[in-house]
Structure 1
């Protein structure tokens, strides 16, 4: 009778699990995340003969690369190698097809890129693309390599969601009840949730300059770069000049802090918008449910001061579309509204994402429809709208919020501005970065003279492409020996401002996969992988490791 009861219990458990799709899944490597780094990691692992599972909290793969960031932040393109370069070669191949040009001809596009042409025929690469093209390339990789992908699977971040023994992750569970086991794990998310669940050290916010002897970290009051600041005196109060009337929406009542001090604030997030002015493919900007024109009074004052750069960052991508990014003192960046995002619950993150969506929807609707907006700006904005053939299952709105920075691991080696300026020697390079040390604004505050100002926007160029250390993607050995982190890497805030570019994430994802493969073959910790062997494999895969 007892044996029957136990059998019945196990049958009941199995039936419950089957009904809800809950089961145990094993592979050599489990990747958590759906970003571009996750996909290049998985492709490389398959090429290296390893079994791999992608556990993605996202439905759509590719992160920002397929989520609106089509005007690629490349820096020096010569240092983009491996699978990252293959991705941009596939973009080129797509746009070499005549039927890729639906709303304009290839010749009329103009070939505008960041500093160099968008299309490089000599190297068969293209750096500028439509969101759906990037996603199709990612999905084609999934099919070509028969990648096992679990979508909309969120890590169970409770105390029982991850099992760790003797410094190794054994398994983790998702909220759907599935369990994933592996020899090596890779956290390829923008948030670093798996890393945090494994009790790996990390930092959120800006370190004080004194921590790593840096110049461009910490609070940057008085430093004004990129034109993303108020160039004229504008009152932050509801009634101009009247402090008692209260602050306008988006202006913080807090003191900004002193230059060089650390804080837990984050650079602003936004959606990278795919817009069009082609009537046949245009969806008019919708009025959001909670629209309040008063939220854009500060922008109105900027416009009334004579500012006319509204359309400066409507960067052209193929087929009469844009990758529209933040620009100026008041734009798509929702400054100060993301501070709790990295550590927030999933429910709270959804609220933050929705708030950003409401803010940006309201911004575009305001500019296109409010009679107080200067006529020439309003008339021009009315020519634009959402692209009808992008993000079709999300009301033509990008499915990925631009998480410019969240958690950053603190490993044995921390990349700092000294590395990006090539002032320290790195002998275990796994790829290179070259983009400017770039931070968006962190806060909007009231200056001592009673006028409004932004703080935190930095743009400083490295002297040359710089090496990225293998030590920056592995945790401290005492904390975890079978985890690699190619996105939320061990880096200071300002160094991460250069590293955090999509091509670099693809590079680091592939490099992490090669390190995982060696660790598995030789039964090593990720910290003890022989760099000489890793370097050889990286070179074979055409990664660029030095100038």
Structure 2
């Protein structure tokens, strides 16, 4: 890889980029309401005549400063931050979610429009779609955004977060600096641009999901940038000598057919695309959804250079379009016009924090089994050429190797080695550059987010810090994640509180495949050729659990089928074939009832007519029963019902 500098560092660009870093988004939770304290308003104007308020009279200019107290503060509202905030909130913590943009979603938002990929790049071409909160979000979008509008997708995410009562969402708010005392972060100093208000957010735990990691960096958390030497972690695809290269940011564009010739005149900032110098890999077709390879990396201060990089990338994006329209070599673009061009480049790499463990390439390629595994990935080792479009002689990405199976991500890579109350999720976790080339994919980051959000809530409940949680309560963390429909490879659930595991009999009215007994085997999906489901032979169908002695129940949870071998993320091209679908999965259960046998009689515990989630929950007043019965009535299209798990709790 060529190592010549692609950027001239300038003070103006460095200041512009570093003052307002990119951060994530937010969410809310049930049970508790997060409220800011009374505003600490002080009047600092020197001229009492400065402000003439026509309704209330004259007073000095008002300095706005508010203090917020919460238990968990999440910085960054991308996929990782959203899932972290929701997980912490649903597990009982008071959460504030801070996002520096007007919308949630990060790289997946309407501002950038990157596909929310995950473990869908395995060698066999079959995805292992992520479940848990990120799948719930994608299903929410399929019900509320059938037209597949990116601006509406922003508001689907907004709805998903703001409906959580334990989350206070702060948009247009940048976390500028961490306040540290006794080696721990005690507060985050934030600035909300739209209200000209400074916020000081006090919390017990801080989760940095911002990507660039300014909060953690200003707290003094250890981090590294650039590429490790191959010898440090025995990484076969790393360079022989360590260097500062970081994968670049991308500007995407979209075009549409106008039905008539559409001439194009390039704007003044356009930079020529020299197609004749480009190696194969920079495909110009299809051109309607833009080109991921219009990107630039850096071997220096990639954050400080961001505004300069953005200016160049805008020029290169228009340069590629100018080539398509005006080179005479692509007449198929005659009737096409630009419909949208990204103004906020999507980032891939900058800071990587150092935790108690640094995830590396051999861990992934060897599918290492971690005792503290809490998430997984499966995208290929997809190391983009950091020179990007300014290094046309090399491929835009190397796609070093695809995986045979998904790999685990340990909890020790998700909290800081030296700042004891700092966790992180996303591209800034504790990992090497080569590991990042795979794990940076957004759905993988979302799984990390759910893991650290759940961990933070458990830390609050148990009054421990993340390291102690990982050492003393890792089983409890893993069990809670799986109860909330996260999947941990090679780690079956064994929740002692689950009364379904103690049922003497599990029977079904009809069976087409699998076995009803598999619904309590601890694995809530089929894995490779291993069957872990029960499928009915037609609908309606019934499933019944029996206990030899009466049990007290107040909750029954079911995990149904959503076809994890197909992908349901937003795409620019609305693909609905192969591994992609752009509608509600037909396998999803739509309507079902729950009954319990009490004193020899069947009584109703609940009915759901329009289910919209894979994890289906029935919560009810406690009953003492010897049996429960599920009545499965309808899916969203399939003739049979398929279930992967049933749990019962008191």
1:12 and 2:43 matched: yes
**What's the RMSD between the two structures over aligned residues?**
3.2
Taking the aligned partners of 1:34 and 1:361, their CA distance within structure 2 comes to: 29
User: 1:439 corresponds to which residue?
Assistant: 383
1:385 and 2:346 matched: no
User: 2:158 corresponds to which residue?
Assistant: 139
User: 1:475 corresponds to which residue?
Assistant: 416
Q: Kindly indicate which of the two structures has a greater share of residues assigned to helix.
A: 1
CA deviations over 1:337-393 (Å, ceiling 9, x no partner):
574223x2xxx5333323322321232134323xxx2x232x223443333xxxxxx
3-state SS, counterpart of residue 276 of structure 1:
strand
3-state SS, counterpart of residue 201 of structure 2:
strand
User: 2:481 corresponds to which residue?
Assistant: 538
User: 2:218 corresponds to which residue?
Assistant: 197
User: Would the aligned equivalents of 2:144 and 2:156 in 1 still touch at CA under 8 Å?
Assistant: no
**Alignment partner for residue 294 of structure 2, among 319, 332, 336?**
332
User: 2:3 corresponds to which residue?
Assistant: none
3-state SS, counterpart of residue 420 of structure 2:
coil
Count residues in correspondence.
422
User: 2:307 corresponds to which residue?
Assistant: 350
**Alignment partner for residue 80 of structure 1, among 125, 130, 142?**
130
Taking the aligned partners of 2:67 and 2:298, their CA distance within structure 1 comes to: 38
Instruction: State the shift of 1:19 in Å.
Output: 3.3
3-state SS, counterpart of residue 437 of structure 1:
coil
Taking the aligned partners of 1:470 and 1:60, their CA distance within structure 2 comes to: 29
Describe the shift of the 1:53–1:291 C-alpha distance in structure 2 as closer, same or farther (beyond 3 A). same
Instruction: State the shift of 1:186 in Å.
Output: 0.7
Q: Kindly indicate which of the two structures has a greater share of residues assigned to strand.
A: 2
Instruction: State the shift of 1:130 in Å.
Output: 5.0
Instruction: State the shift of 1:64 in Å.
Output: 1.2
**Alignment partner for residue 80 of structure 2, among 37, 52, 55?**
37
User: 1:341 corresponds to which residue?
Assistant: 302
User: 2:139 corresponds to which residue?
Assistant: 89
**Alignment partner for residue 91 of structure 2, among 36, 48, 52?**
48
Taking the aligned partners of 1:446 and 1:79, their CA distance within structure 2 comes to: 35
Taking the aligned partners of 1:511 and 1:282, their CA distance within structure 2 comes to: 51
User: Would the aligned equivalents of 2:259 and 2:335 in 1 still touch at CA under 8 Å?
Assistant: no
1:311 and 2:284 matched: yes
Instruction: Please list, as runs of the form range in 1=range in 2, the aligned pairs for 1:111-260 lying within 5 A after superposition.
Output: 130-146=149-165, 147-156=167-176, 161-175=177-191, 177-218=198-239, 260=240
User: 2:368 corresponds to which residue?
Assistant: 424
User: Would the aligned equivalents of 1:17 and 1:23 in 2 still touch at CA under 8 Å?
Assistant: no
Instruction: Please list, as runs of the form range in 1=range in 2, the aligned pairs for 1:356-435 lying within 5 A after superposition.
Output: 356-369=313-326, 373=327, 375-377=328-330, 379-387=331-339, 396-435=340-379
CA deviations over 1:47-89 (Å, ceiling 9, x no partner):
1222111121222210111221137354154351101111222
Instruction: State the shift of 1:426 in Å.
Output: 0.8
Describe the shift of the 1:399–1:86 C-alpha distance in structure 2 as closer, same or farther (beyond 3 A). farther
**Alignment partner for residue 439 of structure 2, among 492, 499, 503?**
499
User: 1:254 corresponds to which residue?
Assistant: none
Instruction: State the shift of 1:151 in Å.
Output: 2.2
**Alignment partner for residue 113 of structure 2, among 64, 68, 71?**
68
User: 2:562 corresponds to which residue?
Assistant: none
Instruction: State the shift of 1:416 in Å.
Output: 0.7
User: Would the aligned equivalents of 1:267 and 1:456 in 2 still touch at CA under 8 Å?
Assistant: no
3-state SS, counterpart of residue 324 of structure 1:
coil
Taking the aligned partners of 1:289 and 1:481, their CA distance within structure 2 comes to: 50
CA deviations over 1:480-519 (Å, ceiling 9, x no partner):
1111111111111111111111111111111111000000
User: 2:510 corresponds to which residue?
Assistant: none
Describe the shift of the 1:82–1:195 C-alpha distance in structure 2 as closer, same or farther (beyond 3 A). same
Taking the aligned partners of 1:428 and 1:61, their CA distance within structure 2 comes to: 30
Which structure 1 residue ranges, 5 or more long, are not aligned? Answer: 1-8, 101-128, 219-259, 315-321, 388-395
Describe the shift of the 1:143–1:423 C-alpha distance in structure 2 as closer, same or farther (beyond 3 A). closer
Larger deviation: 35-44 or 465-474? Answer: 35-44
CA deviations over 1:278-319 (Å, ceiling 9, x no partner):
328999867333234xx32x324449xxx79643454xxxxx
CA deviations over 1:461-481 (Å, ceiling 9, x no partner):
1221111101111111xx111
3-state SS, counterpart of residue 45 of structure 1:
helix
CA deviations over 1:381-410 (Å, ceiling 9, x no partner):
3443333xxxxxxxx333542211111112
Determine which structure has greater relative contact order: mean sequence separation of CA pairs < 8 Å that are 6+ residues apart, divided by chain length: 1
Taking the aligned partners of 1:528 and 1:285, their CA distance within structure 2 comes to: 60
User: Would the aligned equivalents of 1:203 and 1:407 in 2 still touch at CA under 8 Å?
Assistant: yes
User: Would the aligned equivalents of 2:71 and 2:95 in 1 still touch at CA under 8 Å?
Assistant: yes
Instruction: State the shift of 1:430 in Å.
Output: 1.0
TM-score for the superposition, normalised by structure 1: 0.70
Describe the shift of the 1:299–1:40 C-alpha distance in structure 2 as closer, same or farther (beyond 3 A). same
Describe the shift of the 1:422–1:139 C-alpha distance in structure 2 as closer, same or farther (beyond 3 A). same
User: 1:264 corresponds to which residue?
Assistant: 244
3-state SS, counterpart of residue 249 of structure 2:
coil
Taking the aligned partners of 1:354 and 1:88, their CA distance within structure 2 comes to: 33
Larger deviation: 491-500 or 21-30? Answer: 21-30
3-state SS, counterpart of residue 506 of structure 1:
helix
Which structure 2 residue ranges, 5 or more long, are not aligned? Answer: 1-39, 46-50, 52-58, 121-125, 192-196, 491-650
Instruction: State the shift of 1:150 in Å.
Output: 2.1
Larger Rg over CA atoms: 2
**Alignment partner for residue 299 of structure 1, among 250, 263, 275?**
275
